[in-house]
Amino acid sequence: MRLDKYLKVSRIFKRRTIAKEVSKNQRILINGRVAKPGTEVKENDILVISYGGKELKVRVLATPEYVKKESAESMYEIIADIN
Protein backbone atom coordinates (compact mmCIF):
# COMPACT_ATOMS: atom_id res chain seq x y z
CA MET A 1 0.00 0.00 0.00
CA ARG A 2 1.23 3.52 -0.76
CA LEU A 3 2.61 5.46 2.19
CA ASP A 4 0.19 8.38 1.89
CA LYS A 5 -2.81 6.05 1.66
CA TYR A 6 -1.60 3.98 4.64
CA LEU A 7 -1.23 7.07 6.81
CA LYS A 8 -4.78 8.12 5.93
CA VAL A 9 -6.42 4.68 6.28
CA SER A 10 -4.67 4.01 9.60
CA ARG A 11 -5.83 7.45 10.76
CA ILE A 12 -2.35 8.63 11.70
CA PHE A 13 -3.25 11.67 9.55
CA LYS A 14 -6.81 12.84 8.98
CA ARG A 15 -6.36 13.66 5.32
CA ARG A 16 -4.33 12.03 2.58
CA THR A 17 -3.26 15.41 1.23
CA ILE A 18 -1.58 16.23 4.55
CA ALA A 19 0.14 12.82 4.59
CA LYS A 20 1.31 13.41 1.02
CA GLU A 21 2.65 16.88 1.83
CA VAL A 22 4.55 15.69 4.92
CA SER A 23 6.19 12.86 2.98
CA LYS A 24 7.05 15.19 0.08
CA ASN A 25 8.94 17.36 2.56
CA GLN A 26 11.08 14.38 3.58
CA ARG A 27 9.68 14.18 7.12
CA ILE A 28 8.93 10.45 7.04
CA LEU A 29 11.47 7.64 7.22
CA ILE A 30 10.72 3.99 6.47
CA ASN A 31 13.34 1.67 7.96
CA GLY A 32 15.81 4.56 8.15
CA ARG A 33 15.32 5.80 4.56
CA VAL A 34 13.51 8.93 3.42
CA ALA A 35 10.12 7.96 1.96
CA LYS A 36 8.10 9.54 -0.85
CA PRO A 37 4.27 9.48 -0.93
CA GLY A 38 4.26 6.50 -3.33
CA THR A 39 6.68 4.35 -1.34
CA GLU A 40 5.22 0.91 -0.57
CA VAL A 41 4.54 0.14 3.08
CA LYS A 42 4.77 -3.49 4.23
CA GLU A 43 4.13 -5.27 7.50
CA ASN A 44 6.90 -4.89 10.11
CA ASP A 45 8.21 -1.65 8.56
CA ILE A 46 9.26 1.02 11.05
CA LEU A 47 7.96 4.53 10.27
CA VAL A 48 9.46 7.65 11.87
CA ILE A 49 7.19 10.66 11.32
CA SER A 50 8.41 14.18 12.18
CA TYR A 51 5.50 16.60 12.12
CA GLY A 52 4.64 19.78 14.01
CA GLY A 53 7.59 19.62 16.40
CA LYS A 54 6.80 16.02 17.34
CA GLU A 55 8.29 12.70 16.33
CA LEU A 56 6.23 9.52 16.18
CA LYS A 57 7.79 6.09 15.69
CA VAL A 58 5.43 3.26 14.74
CA ARG A 59 5.64 -0.36 13.58
CA VAL A 60 3.29 -1.40 10.76
CA LEU A 61 1.19 -4.39 11.81
CA ALA A 62 -1.19 -4.67 8.83
CA THR A 63 -1.89 -3.02 5.47
CA PRO A 64 -5.54 -3.72 4.55
CA GLU A 65 -7.06 -1.70 1.69
CA TYR A 66 -10.20 -0.86 3.67
CA VAL A 67 -10.67 -0.57 7.39
CA LYS A 68 -13.43 0.49 9.74
CA LYS A 69 -12.85 3.45 12.01
CA GLU A 70 -12.86 1.28 15.13
CA SER A 71 -10.12 -1.05 13.90
CA ALA A 72 -7.75 1.59 12.47
CA GLU A 73 -5.50 1.56 15.53
CA SER A 74 -4.84 -2.16 15.08
CA MET A 75 -2.89 -1.36 11.91
CA TYR A 76 0.12 -0.03 13.81
CA GLU A 77 1.92 -0.12 17.14
CA ILE A 78 3.41 3.05 18.65
CA ILE A 79 7.03 2.48 19.59
CA ALA A 80 7.91 6.05 20.66
CA ASP A 81 6.05 9.36 20.85
CA ILE A 82 8.55 12.18 21.35
CA ASN A 83 7.13 15.66 21.91
Q: What is the pLDDT of residue 15?
A: 94
Assign domain 3-82 to its CATH architecture: Roll (3.10)
User: Nearest to residue 43, comparing CAs of 65, 55, 23, 59?
Assistant: 59
Query: Could you tell me the pLDDT band of residue 72, with boundaries at 50, 70 and 90?
Result: confident
CB atoms within 10 A of CB 7: 27
* pLDDT tens per residue across span 17-70: 999 999 999 999 999 999 999 999 999 999 999 988 899 999 999 998 778 888
Q: What is the pLDDT of residue 31?
A: 97
Residue 17: phi and psi, rounded to 5, are -65, -35
Domain ranges (residues) in the chain: 3-82
User: Nearest to residue 28, comparing CAs of 63, 55, 61?
Assistant: 55
